[in-house]
Amino acid sequence: MTNLKLSDNKVKVMTDWDTISFVMASQPRLRVFLELAKSENTPSKLAEELSIPLSHVSKALSELEEKNLVKCLTPNRRKMKFYQVTGKGQKLKKELRELLEDEE
């Protein structure tokens, strides 16, 4: 995510390295975040599409939600909860994609 700071009529873009490293520190968390960034989805569908255990998806979603990177669209439902990336998450997605492309 970027924060704009104005000084001497110049705009500086600052990267939130703490959030980037938090997401990248866990493969399930990174994969869930990038998949969810494509479109809203349910934990069970994410687990199926990513071929990772549902418990890993649930943990990743909980951690991402704590950082305000994703939000639950149906918080009052017990089953079939839908999640989507927040505005903060959208900014992070762009930076992550650029970083991951640079690594290739």
d(Cα 51, Cα 78) in Å, to the nearest integer?
A: 23
Enter the DSSP assignment of 25: T
Q: What is the pLDDT of residues 92-102, one digit of tens each?
A: 998 888 887 87
Q: What is the pLDDT of residues 7-16, one digit of tens each?
A: 444 444 557 8
Tokens of 64: 């991402």
The residue segments making up the domain with residue 90 are 2-96
pTM of the full structure? 0.81
Give the chain's domain count.
1
Enter the DSSP assignment of 1: -
SS (H, E, C) 35-84: HHHHCCECHHHHHHHHCCCHHHHHHHHHHHHHCCCEEECCCCCCCCCCEE
Q: What is the pLDDT of residues 14-56, one digit of tens each?
A: 578 899 999 999 999 999 999 999 999 999 999 999 999 999 9
CATH of the domain at 89: 1.10.10.10
Within a domain: 39: yes
